[in-house]
A = this chain, B = another copy of it.
Amino acid sequence: MIGTVARAAAVLRSAEDILILTHRRPDGDTVGSANALCLALRKLGKKAFLAPNSEITRRYVRLLAPYAPYEGFAPRFVVTVDCADRTMIPADMAQYAQHIDLVIDHHRSNEGFGAENLVMGQRASCAEIVCDVIEEMGVALDSSIAEGIYIGASTDTGCFKFSNTTANTHRVAAKCLDAGVDGGEINRALFETKSRARYEIEGMLFSSMRFYRDGKIAVALITREARQKTGADWDDLDAIAGVPRQIEGVEVGLTLTELENGDTKVSVRTTKEVDASAICALVGGGGHLRAAGATLHCDSAEAIRRMIEATERVYAGETA
């Protein structure tokens, strides 16, 4: 852990003209955290805005867009939420990358690239840390603030399902529901609603799935053709990497997506028997114990071959 909640709250209380940055390929945690922090700072009477993020998807745009700064706003204090390092700052915000006043994050790998830093690696979501900071600033959670926190906490834990969920995650969720958040409706939109494109992609994924090592390794391929045919965008593909591992007996789920430039993106999801980050480290990627990824500069057939080989090497006890 770097920094303290009390220090981050004190720094924010004395800040003015605040700009909050979300990370590249924004997810529910970065957007929810940013939204909640922005609303809380405004409740303290401060000018606070959310930096536009060109990669925002339709799912989360409503949490970001209404709080964009007016033309010519000159921030005097810049905060990042859920950004593990400077490279995660969107390219069009690069002007701020070397001058971050406060970093709030939960990635263990975060070395603290701001003037002030609050990094709590034991938290499942950045939103839980933001919740602490908001309370420490003396702002009561209302349903609007709590909504962002709830979205951050639920999306980063697969709706409280994944092994990273802690007692603290549940306690924060309880506070959000007490504040009036309609968890059922939020979850329905985020976790229970599948576009037809998503359904079709999942159908294709399953019918094309191949198994290795007596069903312990499952490989799913999302071709460029399948994406074009179904019209699936990145929102539709969100969390699809978890699908192969869901099948009974599978310990390593490999999901490969053919990218436009000919590269192949690989997402690895494992059960407790296998270290996903070790597999990805062997092909130049990285990540967490049970969820890791890599981008391979080759076509999908070659990528499948390399990934199976890397997985077998990890089963054999090898590390990068």
Copies of this subunit = 2
User: Looking at chain A's contact residues, is the secondary structure mostly helix, strand, loop, or mixed?
Assistant: helix
Q: Which of B165, B170, B182, B184 contacts A184 (CB 8 A)?
A: B165
Closest-CB distance, A20 to chain B (whole angstroms)? 27
- Given the interface pairs A161-B187, A272-B185, the reply to whether A245 lies near B178 with Cβ below 8 Å is no
A160 to B184, CA, bound (A): 9
Closest-CB distance, A204 to chain B (whole angstroms)? 10
A166 to B179, CA, bound (A): 11
Q: Is A246 a contact partner of B174 (Cβ separation < 8 A)? A: no
Query: Does A191 have its Cβ within 8 Å of any Cβ on chain B?
Result: yes
- With both beta carbons as reference points, the residue of chain B lying nearest to A197 in the complex is identified as B248
- With both beta carbons as reference points, the residue of chain B lying nearest to A184 in the complex is identified as B163
Query: Does A4 have its Cβ within 8 Å of any Cβ on chain B?
Result: no
- Given the interface pairs A170-B171, A173-B160, A173-B170, the reply to whether A271 lies near B206 with Cβ below 8 Å is no
CB contacts (< 8 Å) of A183 on chain B: these are 160-161, 163, 165
A82 to B207, CA, bound (A): 39
Q: Which of B171, B188, B195, B246 contacts A171 (CB 8 A)?
A: B171
A242 to B163, CA, bound (A): 24
Closest-CB distance, A220 to chain B (whole angstroms)? 12
Closest-CB distance, A102 to chain B (whole angstroms)? 28
A117 to B185, CA, bound (A): 33
- With both beta carbons as reference points, the residue of chain B lying nearest to A200 in the complex is identified as B206
Which residues of A143-194 have CB atoms within 8 Å of chain B's CB atoms?
Answer: 159-168, 170-171, 173-175, 177-178, 182-185, 187-188, 191-194
Please encode chain A, from 130 to 152, with 1 for each CB lying within 8 Å of some chain B CB and 0 for all others: 00000000000000000000000
CB contacts (< 8 Å) of A191 on chain B: these are 161
Query: Does A196 have its Cβ within 8 Å of any Cβ on chain B?
Result: yes
Q: Is B159 a contact partner of A193 (Cβ separation < 8 A)? A: no
Q: Is A184 a contact partner of B199 (Cβ separation < 8 A)? A: no
CB contacts (< 8 Å) of A247 on chain B: these are 193-196, 199
Query: Does A72 have its Cβ within 8 Å of any Cβ on chain B?
Result: no
For A164, A173, A203, the residue with the greatest tally of chain B CB atoms inside 10 Å of its CB is: A173
A–B complex contacts, Cβ < 8 Å, 13 sampled: A160-B173, A160-B183, A161-B191, A161-B192, A163-B188, A167-B175, A185-B272, A193-B246, A193-B247, A193-B248, A195-B247, A195-B248, A203-B203
